[in-house]
C-alpha cells in the first residue's frame, strides 16, 4: 500500500506540474476548466471523489516522506474539505468556481502558474 501511495503522490505532482504549464501556456483554457468546476452533479461529485485519492496517498505516505507532518496535515485537510463539499449544494460549489474564474484573469493565471509547478516539483522531491 505504501508503494501505491508513493506513486499516487508522484502522479499528483506530475498533474500539478501539467496544470501549471497549462496555466502558463494556455491561461484561457485553464480558466475555462475552472468555470466547469461543480457545473453538474456528475462533475461535482466526481471531482470531489477523485480529489480524495491523492489526499489518501499523502496521508498513507506521510511517515516516509521528507516532510511527514506537512503531508499528513495536507492529506487530512484535503479529505476533510472533500467531505464538507459532499454536503455543500452543487450550485454553491459551481458559483464559487465562477467567482474565482472571474477574479483570475488570464494574466493573473499566468503569474500564479509557477506556484502549481513548484508545488508539484516539491511533492515529487518529497517522496524520492
* Nearest Cα residue to 8 out of 100, 93, 89, 127: 127
Measured CA to CA in angstroms, residue 54 lies from 29, 58, 63, 71 at distances of 24, 6, 15, 11
Q: What is the pLDDT of residue 1?
A: 85
pLDDT tens-place values along the chain, 128 residues long: 899 999 999 999 999 999 999 999 999 999 999 999 989 999 999 999 999 999 999 999 999 999 999 999 999 999 999 999 999 999 999 999 999 999 999 999 999 999 999 999 999 999 99
Whole-angstrom distance, CA of residue 128 vs CA of residue 123: 9
The per-residue pLDDT for range 13-28, each reduced to its tens digit, is: 999 999 999 999 999 9
Amino acid at each position: 500500500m505504501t508503494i501505491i501511495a508513493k506513486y499516487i503522490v508522484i502522479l499528483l505532482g506530475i498533474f500539478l506540474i501539467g496544470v501549471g504549464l497549462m496555466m502558463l501556456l494556455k491561461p484561457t483554457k485553464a480558466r475555462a476548466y475552472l468555470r466547469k468546476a461543480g457545473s453538474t452533479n456528475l462533475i461535482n461529485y466526481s471531482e470531489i471523489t477523485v480529489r480524495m485519492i491523492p489526499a489518501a496517498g499523502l496521508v498513507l505516505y506521510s511517515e516516509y516522506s521528507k516532510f511527514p507532518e506537512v503531508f499528513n496535515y495536507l492529506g487530512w485537510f484535503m479529505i476533510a474539505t472533500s467531505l464538507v463539499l459532499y454536503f455543500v449544494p452543487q450550485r454553491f460549489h459551481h458559483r464559487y468556481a465562477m467567482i474565482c474564474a472571474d477574479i483570475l484573469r488570464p494574466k493573473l493565471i499566468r503569474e500564479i502558474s509557477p506556484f502549481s509547478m513548484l508545488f508539484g516539483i516539491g511533492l515529487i522531491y518529497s517522496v524520492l
